[in-house]
Chain A
Amino acid sequence: MSIKYSCSHLDDPHAPLPPSYPSSSSSCHPLEKLYFCEECDAVRCDLCVVMEIASYFCPNCLFDVPSANVRADKNRCARSCFSCPTCESSLSITASDTPSEGGSTQAGPPYTLICSGCKWSSKQVGWQFEKPTGIALQLQKMNTQAELVQSEFDSLKDHLESYISLSTSAPSAPSSTRSTRNPSRHISNLTQMAQKALHRDVGSMVAYSARNKRTIAKDGEKEKLGWDELSEYEPKDSWRKVGLERGLQNIDTLRQLEESGTSGLASLDGRWARSYDHSKMANDILPQRIPLQTKLTKRCPHPNCRHLLIQPDTKSVRMKIKMVAANYLPFVEIGRRRRRIPNSEITITDSLEQLSSEDIERRRRERRRTKGGMVFREEDELLGAPLKAGETYSYQIALTNPLYDPIQIRLTTPHQPKKAPTPKFNLTIPTPHFTINAMKDAWAYDEEDEDEDFGGMIGGSETGFSEEGTAITSNTGIGTATGSGQGTFSKKSRLSILASGKNDRKNRDREGGVEKRGNISKVNLEVEILDDVKGKLEFDLEIRYTYKAEDLGTSTEKEGKANEGKTKEEYKIFTFWVRVNIGKIE
């Protein structure tokens, strides 16, 4: 059971590809992880936002590391935070007990690093410190290890830097020197070769841009295409040479292994994060400084927007700017699964696959009509239980309004692409149009409930009567009243429902198949699973909501001058798509 919201990334909002396309999964995320850009009026996700590092901190001592120091510190804590070489939990600095006069012991130097998880002690590798602070600095002074690695790294960096500096200067260079090293040219070169070989266009952004470039270059001068001349790097120490010298060491290692067994070997996890040249024995692995963590600033990815969506506060967990989709889009939940058990009069014996779409439609209508007459029995089922092929299930879908104004919802299924595989089920939404009340503070709801109780006590009052009336109509003619009746509401009357916040208590309980409570509205969904199908059951829903625009100033500017007269009441429509996974068919 999961409900994910679709993000169209930088495209104009559109329905995601149907769930039967595995490639569509990258555009669906849980609502908690989505952002919302007010300027673009669009949903943004972690895959498309632009992230910048706002601050660095050590997850162990929680020290905020100035970004200027991070590079020199090699992205690790430069104070006293070390991780255990065997279990990776943080090491604590422990003073050793020295006996003093009077028989009692006194804590004092030398200090050691001890893992509270596995009791590893830095004595094992000969690390002992005079002071309990600034361990990393003390270690740097007394330890010259890793110099070999460092010098090798530095020379490799120097070697590559010449290449990097050339390629970064490329964009600023005039077009005549386009032959400068630009890594993307490799790709364009490849696609061009592929195009030649295949005698057709190879779809790729790079190829496209390369072709464009060429047309520009044609009238200028012939573009020079060539591979980058990156000279071969010669390592300072050949692993062969070192390896030969290490023959004796290897024999020692093997001897140790014979004694200790496999437990003497360092775990792969432990070795993974270390330098390329390390010992395989657990005893030789040294503690490492704890890697820093970051707080991220997130921006809208649209090139013309770039507005901040998330700006963290370095001091606290609060966010200075927090534009999250949860504050804009209704929260969708699915629950109350029921399996439909037909009564004896109606039998679903003929296989559904043989029916034409007309028949299915007729059947659907029939079912809707007969629903009120209790032809079907419904049995509650657990949400997580496996689904069965050939059965019809009814669900309730709940939408929670995050806005302080009532909203109008339209619930539909998005259009399927032409070549999409036929779905494994038929989905019916008996109540596609409904409203959700505005979000209020918790105490406001309590008051409303009290009001209602009071109204109920009076009994003969008008409100009580009208409520009863609606209940009767919805019982007898639920199908027509909800499915079409609500749907054919003229836009004006629908909006009047929105505008009249106080009237909604009347149609609060049952607005024709809609269950309302506070800022939550629940409607039914029917899923008719076809015979002989298996696998995951997922479907997309298109949810369109109409809401009152808050900032009239900007909206009128946006909407254009045609609407100038209508400054009082402004309604806006936003559409989003959710992917509902209701389990597996067995």
Chain B
Amino acid sequence: MGAFDSIITYEKGTYIETDTGNKVSRKATIIGATNIILGGKSIIQLGSILRGDLKRSISGQNVVISIGRYCLIGENSIIRPPGKLYKGTFTFYPIRISDFVHINSNCIIEAGQIGLGVEIGKNCIIGKFVIIKDLAIILPNTVLTEGTVVPSMSIWGGNPGKLIDTLPETYQETMEAKCKNYYQRFRAA
């Protein structure tokens, strides 16, 4: 698969490569880096914003954003932990992103959980505390309202997002191959 895909290049030095193979753009805004975990071989593209500083009001270290392996945070996408009033005080909750998750450009993500093998198209808005289970596709330009639950093997689209279709049984392999392929093609010029 992907026999004819051309490589995606970036200017050398614009991305930092970590020991575990993560590629993070120097032009990405990462706040509260100590509260962010990257699983390895994940790409954070330029212009994206990761708000690791929005943590629970309880003092001490805790993970705010955790991202798995072979993930992509597209250009100008924003990952922001969801927050709400709980017992009179406003608190943020952590955001968990599993392996093989592709978030394309210009998305705003405030989900609580994104499962394995999820692809989020361009210009999507994922509302607060949305739960996306393993293996799902969110079509481009979708708006998922607060607290939406996206079940496994489904395709969502529209504004507000609705369940549109289901995925074929082979989707897990397709998505994993796609994510690995994308990582391999994303290289310095």
Contacts and interface: CB of A to CB of B under 8 A. Distances in A.
A463 interface: no
A333 B151 contact: no
A89 B162 contact: yes
Interface in A109-130: 115-118
Contact of A32 (B4, B153, B168): B168
B19 interface: no
Nearest to A333: B3
B3 A398 contact: yes
A208 interface: no
A485 interface: no
A92 B147 contact: yes
B160 A89 contact: yes
Contact of A116 (B147, B169, B174): B147
Contacts of B35: none
* Most chain A C-beta atoms within 10 Å of own C-beta, residue among B88, B127, B145, B169: B169
Interface string A48-63: 0000000001011110
Given A59-B163, A92-B146, A104-B88, A326 B3 contact: no
Contact of B3 (A89, A117, A322, A520): A520
Most A Cβ at <10 Å: residue of B127, B143, B147: B147
A333 B4 contact: yes
B160 A87 contact: yes
Contact of A88 (B116, B146, B162): B162
Contacts of B152: 317
Contact of B170 (A60, A118, A326, A336): A326
Given A317-B153, A333-B1, A324 B147 contact: no
Contacts of B91: none
B172 interface: yes
Determine the main DSSP class of A at the interface with B.
strand
B149 interface: yes
A28 interface: no
B146 A116 contact: yes
Contacts of A105: 88
B173 to A, nearest CB: 7
B172 A317 contact: yes
Contacts of B4: 333-336, 396, 398
B101 to A, nearest CB: 14
Contacts of A310: 169
B50 interface: no
A331 B1 contact: yes
Interface string A15-34: 00000000000000000110
Interface in A62-93: 62, 87-90, 92
A116 B135 contact: no
A450 B120 CA distance: 37
B159 to A, nearest CB: 9
A117 B145 CA distance: 5
A293 interface: yes
Contacts of A61: 149
Contacts of A92: 146-147
B3 A60 contact: no
A32 B147 contact: no
Interface in A356-410: 396, 398, 400
A333 B143 CA distance: 33
B145 A293 contact: no
Contacts of A293: 151, 154, 163, 166
Contacts of A398: 3-4
B171 interface: yes
A420 interface: no
B149 A62 contact: yes
Given A336-B4, A398-B3, A60 B171 contact: no
Contact of B135 (A33, A57, A317, A400): A317
Interface size for chain B: under 10, 10 to 19, 20 to 34, or 35 or more residues?
20 to 34
A269 to B, nearest CB: 10
A187 interface: no
Contacts of A32: 168, 170-171, 174
A335 B154 CA distance: 29
Contacts of B3: 333, 335, 398, 400, 520, 522
Interface in B167-187: 168-174, 180
Nearest to B136: A317
Interface in B101-130: 116, 127
Contacts of A60: 149
Given A59-B151, A317-B172, A88 B1 contact: no
Interface in A284-326: 293, 310, 316-317, 319, 322, 324, 326
B151 A57 contact: yes
B135 A115 contact: no
B134 interface: yes
A60 B152 CA distance: 11
B25 to A, nearest CB: 26
Nearest to B144: A89
B148 interface: yes
Contacts of B145: 89-90, 115-117
Given A59-B149, A92-B147, A324 B160 contact: no
B27 to A, nearest CB: 29
Given A32-B174, A33-B168, A62-B133, A90 B163 contact: no
B149 A90 contact: yes
B157 interface: no
B100 to A, nearest CB: 12
A62 B150 CA distance: 9
Contact of A326 (B88, B116, B153, B173): B173
A90 B147 contact: yes
A90 B160 CA distance: 10
Contacts of A324: 169-170
B161 interface: yes
A418 B154 CA distance: 44
Interface string A313-351: 000110100101010000101111000000000000000
A88 B170 contact: no
B135 to A, nearest CB: 5
Given A57-B151, A90-B149, 9 more contacts: A32-B168, A32-B170, A62-B133, A89-B145, A293-B154, A317-B153, A319-B169, A322-B169, A326-B170
Interface of A: 32-33, 57, 59-62, 87-90, 92, 104-105, 115-118, 293, 310, 316-317, 319, 322, 324, 326, 331, 333-336, 396, 398, 400, 442, 520, 522
A-B interface, 8 closest residue pairs, ranked by CB to CB distance from nearest: A335-B4, A398-B3, A116-B146, A117-B145, A117-B160, A89-B160, A116-B145, A59-B151
25 contacts: A32-B171, A32-B174, A33-B170, A57-B151, A59-B151, A87-B160, A88-B162, A89-B161, A90-B148, A92-B146, A104-B88, A105-B88, A116-B127, A116-B146, A293-B151, A293-B163, A319-B169, A322-B169, A326-B170, A331-B1, A334-B4, A335-B4, A398-B4, A400-B3, A520-B3
